[in-house]
Amino acid sequence: MSVTRRQLLRSGLGVTALLLVAACGREDNAGGPARRGGTLRVGALGSTARIERDPHANLSNDSDFLIASLVYDALTVPGADPTVAPRLATRWESDAEHRRWSFTLAEGARFHNGAPVTAEDVVWSMRRLRTVGGASKMPVAENDIAADGPNRVVFTLPAPNTQLPQLLRLMTFTVPKDTTDFTAAIGTGPFRLESFQGGTARLVRNEQWHGSPPLLDTIEVTMFDSVTALGNAALGGQLDLASNVGAIAGRTAAGRGDLQVIRRANDTMLGVAMRTADGPFADATVRTALRLGVDRTALVNQVHSGFGTVAADVLGTADPAYDTALRRDRDIARAKTLLREANFDTGRGYPFVTKAEVPGEVESAKVIATQLAEIGVKLDVQVVESAGFYDTTWLKAPLYTVSWGTNDSVLFLADKLMTSGSNRNETAFRDAEFDAATAKALAASGAEYDAAVREIQRIEFERGGYLVWGMADGVDIAAATVRDLPTLGGFARVQLERAWLA
């Protein structure tokens, strides 16, 4: 049975039963049944200085992110087809205008301390998420989140938005109402926290989980402070799973029979933000020249070690609505011509700011600077600390590297990063036609939605402020005995409740 994303959004049908039936019939690749039991040893990146126990705060440690995602439930989670799957919320529906959305909570859902989950717990958690995490994590105003009975939550939006179920996939974790101390980590997720020390945690199966019970008895999460240390631990057999370990370790593990490499396509966007409002790259002709001046295949090969795919300057490559016909090959002669037509000053240098935040980011800036020198654009690569970058560069500088670790829909990224009213408009893009197309897509469905999303992509491709040269695969290393690991990117990669050990 196949349910499309738009069918799901229009009908509001819950699909928990579908998922449970699929889980019960799962077998491994060799034809054997899934086994219950065992301990999965997982390694993830993190820093002791950045440990964060509050699930609504900024979880900058991958280890904290992984732990929180197993202990707490989001309202919805990513899926393949449809792209939104139920979690703590098993059903949702909207009014005809897509402004009033109702979410029904899973029957029998309980916190790890045995208390039943109520709509008041969810409302309090979502309001707190907006206060602690900001509007980017909860796109509904505090007073527009309300309980409608004991197990229904209503979100009222100021404008039509068909994307709310997808927006709520992003760490909308529910905690007991009025919780201020998160040491015990009382959530509703598939695993309970048994112990936590210095970033390392032991999680045990939650037998009372509202979903299909996890197969693993235990997950042990160990924090590593470097990709090298994480990769070496996986290669040395100290771990069953190295989460988000990167292409270098993946390439090393690829030839070993005792290991498997999990590649999650479209996992991370690493690109360039060109300021469109003013400054040297405000002219769309200049931005097109820079886009034509880069060698995308070479960037994917050098920066991502081939674990990735080229892109064409539009955000949202994993979206089924992404226009795969869009293509931009390197054309040095055309790039030089466009720079001359725009009277671009090739006699001076331009700062190009980057930071060592994701693997390959600094290297990508250096490669791009070398490539663009061939069309006459002189870039001075400046590496800054991440904290300083967000204080002085982000949203302000003419040219800087950016990365996004969740490859959501074309519409989601357009609305959050490129509309005039966005507080994360990295390229200072102000385009009335683009805003209108985005608003139309948010309110539309069916053929009207498809047409509006194509228009969004056309504008991004022609005059947007991003240079999106490629998408990196997410790379995990796992022991050959680990089965049913997630293969979707972004938030989906931490959903380990169906993993098991052969």
CA-wise closest residue to 187 among 101, 90, 87, 91: 87
Task: State CA 404 to chain mean position distance.
Answer: 7
Of 25-39, 207-221, 442-456, the range with the lowest mean pLDDT is 25-39
Task: Report which of 446, 447, 502 is spatially closest to residue 479, judged by C-alpha positions.
Answer: 502
Q: What is the pLDDT of residue 454?
A: 98
CATH code of 266-472, in short, is 3.10.105.10
Looking at residue 393, what DSSP letter applies?
T
For the stretch 14-61, pLDDT in tens is: 333 333 333 333 444 445 789 999 999 999 999 898 899 999 998 888
pLDDT in tens, 328-349: 999 999 999 999 999 999 999 9
Residue 116 has pLDDT above 90, yes or no: yes
Q: Per CATH, the architecture of 5-189+481-501 is what?
A: Alpha-Beta Complex (3.90)
Q: In the prediction, which pLDDT does 135 show? A: 66
| pLDDT value at residue 28 | 46
Query: Closest Cα to residue 170, out of 129, 131, 199?
Result: 129
**HEC-encoded secondary structure of 391-447:** HHCCCCCCEEEEEECCCCCHHHHHHHHCCCCCCCCCCCCCCHHHHHHHHHHHHCCHH
Is pTM beyond 0.85? Reply is no
Chain mean pLDDT for the chain:
90
Predicted local distance difference test score (pLDDT) of residue 2: 30
- pLDDT over 80 at 3, yes or no: no
Comparing CA positions, the residue from 221, 345, 183, 325 lying closest to residue 279 is 345
Per-residue model confidence as pLDDT tens digits over 152-207: 999 999 989 988 998 898 789 999 999 999 999 999 999 999 999 999 999 999 99
pLDDT band with cut points at 50, 70 and 90 for residue 320: confident
Q: CB-based burial of residue 202 (10 Å sphere; 0-12 exposed, 13-18 middle, 19+ buried)?
A: middle
Mean pLDDT of 272-297: 98
Rounded CA gap, 64 and 293, in Å?
A: 39
Give residue limits of the domains in the chain.
Answer: 5-189+481-501, 266-472
What's residue 18's pLDDT?
33
The predicted structure's pLDDT at residue 449: 93
